């Protein structure tokens, strides 16, 4: 995958792991527990993660969770729909936050 944001990401992530190894291990353990089959199947959790990764615009998460989703049998169509859910969520958030803008315009009328 591309070198996101033009930085030596691998080197910097390795440093981050080395500076706080217990926190990193805790993160990995947490991630494994969260994505295990449970009330929600792990395949569905990966689709949820794809949506969240697109909403948060994390290229590393997009790459990782799409790869994991494919490994769990997700189709390209399922992944595409997860991306469109993200688009709807971001658009909806922009619309609903428009209420803040309209409130501020009202404050400036007084």
Closest CA to 87 of 66, 60, 57: 57
Residue-by-residue pLDDT tens, the chain, 110 positions: 555 566 677 888 899 999 999 999 999 999 999 999 999 999 999 999 999 999 999 998 999 999 999 999 999 999 999 999 999 999 999 999 999 999 999 999 87
Q: Indicate the pTM of the whole model.
A: 0.84
> Can you tell me the distance from the alpha carbon of 22 to that of 87, in angstroms, rounded to the nearest whole number?
35
**What is the structure's pLDDT at 6?**
61
Cα-only R_g, the chain: 19
**What is the structure's pLDDT at 5?**
64
């Amino acid at each position: 995958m591309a070198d996101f944001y033009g930085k030596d990401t691998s080197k910097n992530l390795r440093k981050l792991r080395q500076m706080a190894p217990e926190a990193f291990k805790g993160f990995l353990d947490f991630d494994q527990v969260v994505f295990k089959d449970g009330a929600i199947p792990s395949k569905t959790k990966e689709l949820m993660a794809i949506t969240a990764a697109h909403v948060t615009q994390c290229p590393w998460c997009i790459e990782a969770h799409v790869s994991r989703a494919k490994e769990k049998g997700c189709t390209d169509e399922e992944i595409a729909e997860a991306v469109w859910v993200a688009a709807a969520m971001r658009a909806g958030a922009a619309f609903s936050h428009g209420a803040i803008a309209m409130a501020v315009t009202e404050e400036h009328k007084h």
